[in-house]
Amino acid sequence: MILGSITGLSACLKAENAHAQMRDFKKIRPVIAAVQEHMFPKNSTLPSARSMHTIDFTEETIFHHTYDKDIRTFVIAGAQELIAREERFLSYGPAQKEKALRAYEQTGYGSNWLARIMTLTMEALFSDPVYGSNINESGWRAIKSFGGIPRPTTRYIA
Amino acid sequence: MMKQPLYDAVIIGSGASGGAVAYTLTKAGYKVAMLEKGRLIRREEFSKDELAYCRRDIVTPNLFDEYHVIEQKVDGKWEATPTYDSGWSFWNGNIVGGSSNFMSGMFHRLHPDDFRLKSKYGAIEGANVVDWPISYEDIEPYYTMAENIVGISGHYKPHPFEPPRSTPDFPQPPTQENEVVKLLDRSCRKLGVTSLVTPRAVLSQDRGHRKACYYSNFCGSYGCSSGAKGSSREALLPAALATGNLTLMSNTHVKQLVSESKTHVGYALAVDTITGKEKHIRGRIFIVAAQAHESARLLLNSADKNHPDGLANSSGELGKNLIFSGGGSGQGELHRDALKHISFDALMQTGLFVNRSVLDWYFIDDWLEGKFKGGSVEFMFEHQNIISRALKHNYDGEKLVWGKALGERVVKRFREQKSIRFEIFNDWLPTDDCFVSVDPTHKDKYGMPVGKLRINGHPQDVKVGNYIAKKCEKILEEMGAKNIYSSVSNAPAQNLVAGGCRFGDDPKTSVLNKYCQAHDIPNLFVADASFMPTGGSVAYTWTIYANAFRVADKIVEVLKKSEV
Ligand SMILES: Cc1cc2nc3c(=O)[nH]c(=O)nc-3n(C[C@H](O)[C@H](O)[C@H](O)COP(=O)(O)OP(=O)(O)OC[C@H]3O[C@@H](n4cnc5c(N)ncnc54)[C@H](O)[C@@H]3O)c2cc1C
Ligand code: SF4
């Protein structure tokens, strides 16, 4: 006999907070997307951030209840800080972006934030395609390494 | 409230230890309730989803809901950090079957001398080393039993430090091996080191409802989709459920055990994690099997007027002498262009195990360093997780590598080399500075004080680890590996935890008697690794299974004699 439901306990998200954070995120979404595209450009041996829609993955990931809420706050705040330092970041060419990001990296805060964006983008490129990025397993094919069998059919073991 | 049924036994936790007790008791005809805080994930539901299983808290509690406070020495002062701040989770798998679902299954027996470390090697300053109240001979039949019931594959080869066994060989042949073992064995031979086949709690052949391993390439940290891995959920619970005597209550978190007198536990106070409703589960005997640090916490949180310092704590020893697995790890890269003796394609074949361990340094007699207790070594490939491998080594000095340079680096890492790794397991000496208590202010979402773990290792642990790491680096060098490094420290392996409820003959200095029954409370047992006064120099789980089978036999005896 097995008693008890088989669905797990879903962590509850503080709703008011999430709404305000989503508004903030939407404002700096293009900044994060631009940083990801700079880190994972076209014509690289890895698929580009843009072609893999890593920004959509990032949005969905950080707002999922399984994501550490402190890190979510940090992802948003770090982008706000970047744009406060470099107001015209979005219109910069690649060389200017490189300079701006390397300067940001000189601060401990900036270097942590860039590492976090790197982690999120790598998670996008190399997680199962069920999460929306790594389209047609392009990330996996580039490195000839593939996720194990069975593959997930839903996100986060839902 | 309606009168609740009285179970013969109530087990808290459905992992390795809880499963072994349930198996024996239900087969002996006793009615057992198993209370498990996590949910049931069935074999068919598991997948190799790295994001979900390895990078998010999905099979463990969310750290903002339930956490630990970790106290470590920083610049000579104790500093306490809640794990929701550090992200360093001390949960290891909280679903039906517990962490045994996610283990790698590298199994070893303790050596007979591990049961008498103090007599053999004498006291060590600053460490609370004691002999065990039982000997290897007392537990040997249960190691064999675990081999058969859990299903451990391997191949026995005599070795001076290989413990004696009552059967000639393992019930199943070893799991399949990557050709890298040719290179590894050859290199070991050249250095005069004996490489042994690692016993593994993984079936190499079909058995009953469990299918043989299909070498999925993602074993440790993942649930098994064939049933080959010897988790409690696959190896023990189905047989227990089939008796009709087991009531498995998932999503049932136990907050406290409630005593009815100084010598008797009456019921478990549990909360349904879905509805939030509290319930009382009554039993003749209670068996705590929540994994060492959580078992001590539960007993401490069960303090009441009969037991103001916590259940089974008349000695004041409850929570003390917590231990982990000491040691460290190291690795090196086998490059396509420098590979000797085997083909690169063979090396790159995925899924097959390395399956090698070294016991040569279990006891060390060194002309320079002297005689001391050493440890064991496992060889394996670097964990095959893709995201975590892609994220490694992406710095040039302080600068994060990105752009095309990053692409080249990552592609090369995955396509032109494979990393081989060793893990060292040596004693984590028990000390006064490593224990569990309950935090005076931090509470989990059920309103119960969280476990506070003070963690500090003994300098001897690091000395031993470093000694062995040097030997292992030599093996990797001989194999032709590049960029070899190792790291040995006092940082604990949070998935290999024991102690906190020492067993012993003297009720003044131990929590449990030699059958893991509380000295003070005859109807209370602790079945997980909490009992271990010293940890031995191998991963614990074969010993956990074996000891839980041994304890279960005692419980049957107690129930039979109606002693409770
Ligand atoms: C990634 C990984 C790899 C490993 N590899 C190896 C290996 O190669 N070799 C080896 O020997 N060991 C290995 N281990 C360790 C092994 O899994 C554990 O030693 C073993 O499972 C411990 O058994 P246990 O019964 O003490 O605890 P668990 O198996 O963890 O079971 C404890 C159960 O109790 C439940 N519980 C806790 N508190 C409560 C409560 N208050 N109320 C209700 N339920 C509760 C938990 O949810 C859990 O399900 C590994 C572990 C991990 C995580
Ligand atoms: S199939 Fe084999 S390798 Fe995969 S999880 Fe199961 S036991 Fe491990």
The domain segmentation of chain B, as residue ranges, is 6-72+92-163+175-563
Number of CB atoms found within 10 A of residue B267's CB: 20
Of A11, A115, A148, the CB nearest to B62: A11
Q: Has domain B6-72+92-163+175-563 been given CATH number 3.30.420.40?
A: no
Side chain identity at residue B420, one-letter code: I
Q: What rounded mean pLDDT belongs to chain A?
A: 91
**Helical (H) or strand (E) element with A48:** none
Residue A15 confidence class, pLDDT cut points 50, 70, 90:
low
In tens, the pLDDT along B426-456 reads 999 999 999 999 999 999 999 999 999 999 9
Beta strands in A11-140 (DSSP E): none
- Measured between alpha carbons, how far is B224 from B43 in angstroms, rounded to an integer? 7
Comparing C-alpha atoms, which of B472, B488, B534 is closest to residue B110?
A: B534
- Measured between alpha carbons, how far is B456 from B224 in angstroms, rounded to an integer? 34
Ligand 2 within 6 A of CB of B214: yes
**Tell me, what DSSP letter sits at residue B427?**
-
Flag whether residue A157 sits within 8 Å of chain B, measured between CB atoms.
Answer: yes
Residue A127 with chain B: CB contacts under 8 Å: 49-51, 387
pLDDT at A5: 35
- The pTM of the whole model exceeds 0.90: yes
Q: Is the pLDDT of residue A9 over 90?
A: no
**Helical (H) or strand (E) element with A68:** none
Q: Is the pLDDT of residue A13 over 70?
A: no
Across the interface, do A150 and B411 touch by the CB < 8 Å criterion?
no
Which of B172, B175, B207, B214 to probe ligand 2 with, by most ligand atoms within 8 A of CB?
B214
**Helical (H) or strand (E) element with B419:** strand B417-426
Residue B41 with chain A: CB contacts under 8 Å: 6, 157
- Measured between alpha carbons, how far is B297 from B453 in angstroms, rounded to an integer? 10
Residue A105 with chain B: CB contacts under 8 Å: 398-400
In tens, the pLDDT along B452-501 reads 999 999 999 999 999 999 999 999 999 999 999 999 999 999 999 999 99
CA distances from B74 to A107, A129, B71, B432, B456 (A): 24, 42, 9, 17, 11
pLDDT at A158: 78
**Token couple for B156:** 């026995």
Number of CB atoms found within 10 A of residue B216's CB: 20
CA B222 to ligand 2 center in whole angstroms: 8
- Measured between alpha carbons, how far is B16 from B25 in angstroms, rounded to an integer? 15
Tell me the angle at which helices A15-39 and A94-105 cross, rounded to the nearest 10 degrees: 120
Residue with CA closest to ligand 2 atom 4: B216
Taking the CA atoms of residue A51, residue A54, residue A60 and residue A65 in that order, the dihedral angle to the nearest 10 degrees is 150
CA B39 to ligand 1 center in whole angstroms: 14
Instruction: Tell me which residue has tokens 């010897």.
Output: B230
Across the interface, do B50 and A69 touch by the CB < 8 Å criterion?
no
pLDDT at B563: 78
**Which ligand is closest in space to the CA of residue B48?**
2
Across the interface, do A151 and B49 touch by the CB < 8 Å criterion?
yes
Q: Least CA distance to A13: which residue of chain B?
A: B64
pLDDT at A4: 37
Q: Is the pLDDT of residue A10 over 60?
A: no
Across the interface, do A43 and B251 touch by the CB < 8 Å criterion?
no
pLDDT at B559: 97
Residue A1 confidence class, pLDDT cut points 50, 70, 90:
very low
Across the interface, do A46 and B410 touch by the CB < 8 Å criterion?
yes
Closest-CA distance of chain B to residue A146, Å: 8
- Measured between alpha carbons, how far is B67 from B546 in angstroms, rounded to an integer? 29
Residue B389 with chain A: CB contacts under 8 Å: 145
Q: Is the pLDDT of residue A16 over 80?
A: no
Across the interface, do B411 and A45 touch by the CB < 8 Å criterion?
yes
Strands B278-288, B524-526: pairing is: parallel
CA B111 to ligand 2 center in whole angstroms: 27
CB–CB of B184/B354 below 8 Å?
yes
CA distances from B297 to B243, B438, B490 (A): 32, 6, 23
Any bridge partners for residue B77, and if so which?
B74
In tens, the pLDDT along B292-325 reads 999 999 999 999 999 999 999 999 999 999 999 9
Residue ranges of chain B with per-residue pLDDT less than 50 = 1
Residue B413 with chain A: CB contacts under 8 Å: 143
Number of CB atoms found within 10 A of residue B44's CB: 8
Across the interface, do B52 and A157 touch by the CB < 8 Å criterion?
yes
Q: Least CA distance to B241: which residue of chain A?
A: A1
Residue B57 with chain A: CB contacts under 8 Å: 66
ipTM score above 0.90:
yes
Closest-CA distance of chain B to residue A41, Å: 6
For testing contact with chain A, the best of B62, B386, B388, B395 (most A CBs within 10 A): B386
Flag whether residue B410 sits within 8 Å of chain A, measured between CB atoms.
Answer: yes
What does the pLDDT average to over A97-112?
Answer: 98
Across the interface, do B47 and A114 touch by the CB < 8 Å criterion?
no
CA distances from B424 to B112, B326, B359, B462 (A): 20, 8, 10, 11
For testing contact with chain B, the best of A145, A155, A156 (most B CBs within 10 A): A145
Closest-CA distance of chain B to residue A87, Å: 22
Closest-CA distance of chain A to residue B268, Å: 16
The percent of chain B in helix, strand and coil, each rounded to the nearest 5, is: 25, 25, 45
Of A140, A144, A149, the CB nearest to B48: A149
